[in-house]
Amino acid sequence: MMISKTKISTEGFEKVEITAEMAEIFALPKKAIGEWAVIAEDEVERRLMKVRLDGYFADDKYNNHQRISNRIWGQMFGGVRCAKFEFSKLCTRKKNWILALIDEFEKIPELAVSLRKFSLDDIVLQIIDDTNSKRPQGKAYSSIASAITYWKYKYGDNGR
């Protein structure tokens, strides 16, 4: 005779879905892909447990538990912008253009001094925002030459 396992419903727990793209970008193991329920939360991390297709918790085995630090959680689900995640969603051509633009910025002494005040993530996010076609004022720049002019005016060491 087979002993039946108790089913525990995930009703009332916060549920999240981790995609393959998220797992790759944030260096999570492949087992993290799927639907999870947050079962515990503290100031350092969140403990998740796997949710089956029928809406109940999966068996209490080691591969059905996952711990995610709050720093990564904020970037994945909390609305905190992550340059690494947004950069990964760009096409290869735009990625290469952004990297070439940052190299050009570093060659210009006026901009290099000003850009040391910012982190690389902040610079990448600002470039992504400035070149977004859905920006209310339109793209701020679309070529490396116009980007250098714009950044010299806005962030250059010209007494601002």
State pLDDT tens for residues 19-60. 998 888 888 999 999 999 999 999 889 999 999 988 888 888
15 vs 60, more confident: 15
Q: Which pLDDT band holds residue 158 (cuts at 50, 70, 90)?
A: low
Tell me the three state secondary structure of residue 52: coil
Mean pLDDT value across residues 111-140: 87
- Distance between the two ends of the chain, CA-based, in angstroms? 80
Residue 83 pLDDT > 90, yes or no? Answer: no
Residue whose tokens read 């806005």: 154
Tell me how far the alpha carbon of residue 129 is from its chain's centroid.
15
Query: Which of 54-58, 77-81, 110-114 has the least mean pLDDT?
Result: 77-81
Q: Which of 128, 18, 13, 129 is nearest to 73 (CA)?
A: 18
What local confidence, expressed as pLDDT, does residue 99 receive? 92
What local confidence, expressed as pLDDT, does residue 121 receive? 87
Residue 66 pLDDT > 60, yes or no? Answer: yes
What local confidence, expressed as pLDDT, does residue 93 receive? 93
Residue 159 pLDDT > 70, yes or no? Answer: no
> Using CA atoms, how far apart are residues 103 and 98, in angstroms rounded to an integer?
9
Question: How many C-beta neighbours within 10 Å does residue 150 have?
Answer: 14
